[in-house]
């Protein structure tokens, strides 16, 4: 019975090490980082990773949604503190692009590169809903062209997320994205 308890503690310790390593590796290199690198960083075998946490999607769902959720909650707070619908939407776009630039895992999440990581997708859906709400508010205030939709916003963020992590992307991608949004405002 003592050996069984020890194994359970050891197994739990391995899970904790794997979660910590996954968070560090994913945050640094994105959600497609090799699982072998995560196992190595945790000091366990790849077999232990699969036995203790399952698939890549299960590992992503175990460690990333809480972090993404915290960052997106902070984004929402900064966004909603702005005084006007235009300022809120501008803040949202700018902060989302900055988050995509600074956090490869969040960028992968926003680009929905792992659609079977359902907890992660749910966290991202809340961000999409905030964007839709901000667009509706800007439309209602008469400051945003009715032609600019939630789909347009998601396309802007997708372009930014894709370009921000592609070393072959032209250096002016952000300026082009900002011009695209600026053209939607009604002066």
Q: For residues 168 and 166, what is the distance between their CA atoms, to the nearest angstrom?
A: 5
pLDDT digits (tens, 9 = 90+) for 76-126: 999 999 999 999 999 999 999 998 888 888 888 888 888 888 888 888 888
pLDDT at 37 over 80: yes
Three-state SS for 144? Answer: strand
pLDDT digits (tens, 9 = 90+) for 73-84: 899 999 999 999
Structure tokens given for 155: 């396309």
HSE-up of residue 49 (Cα within 13 Å, Cβ side): 24
- Whole-model pTM: value is 0.82
Mean pLDDT of the residues in the chain: 89
Across the range 144-154, mean pLDDT stands at 95
Report the run of H or E that residue 186 belongs to, with start and end: none
Residue in the block written with tokens 């995560």: 38
């Amino acid at each position: 019975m003592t050996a069984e308890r020890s194994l359970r503690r050891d197994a739990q310790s391995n899970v904790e090490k794997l979660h910590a390593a996954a968070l560090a590796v994913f945050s640094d290199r994105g959600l497609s980082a090799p699982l072998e690198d995560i196992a190595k960083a945790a000091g366990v075998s790849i077999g232990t990773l699969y036995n203790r946490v399952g698939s890549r999607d299960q590992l992503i769902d175990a460690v990333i949604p809480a972090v993404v959720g915290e960052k997106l909650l902070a984004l929402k707070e900064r966004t909603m503190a702005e005084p006007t619908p235009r300022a809120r939407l501008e803040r949202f776009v700018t902060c989302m692009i900055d988050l995509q630039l600074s956090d490869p895992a969040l960028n992968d999440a926003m680009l929905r590169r792992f659609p079977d990581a359902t907890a992660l997708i749910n966290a991202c859906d809340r961000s999409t809903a905030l964007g839709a709400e901000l667009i509706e508010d800007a439309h209602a205030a008469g400051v945003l062209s009715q032609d600019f939709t939630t789909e347009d916003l998601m396309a802007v963020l997708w372009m930014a997320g894709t370009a921000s992590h592609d070393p072959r992307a032209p250096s002016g991608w952000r300026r082009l994205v900002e011009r695209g949004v600026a053209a939607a405002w009604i002066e």
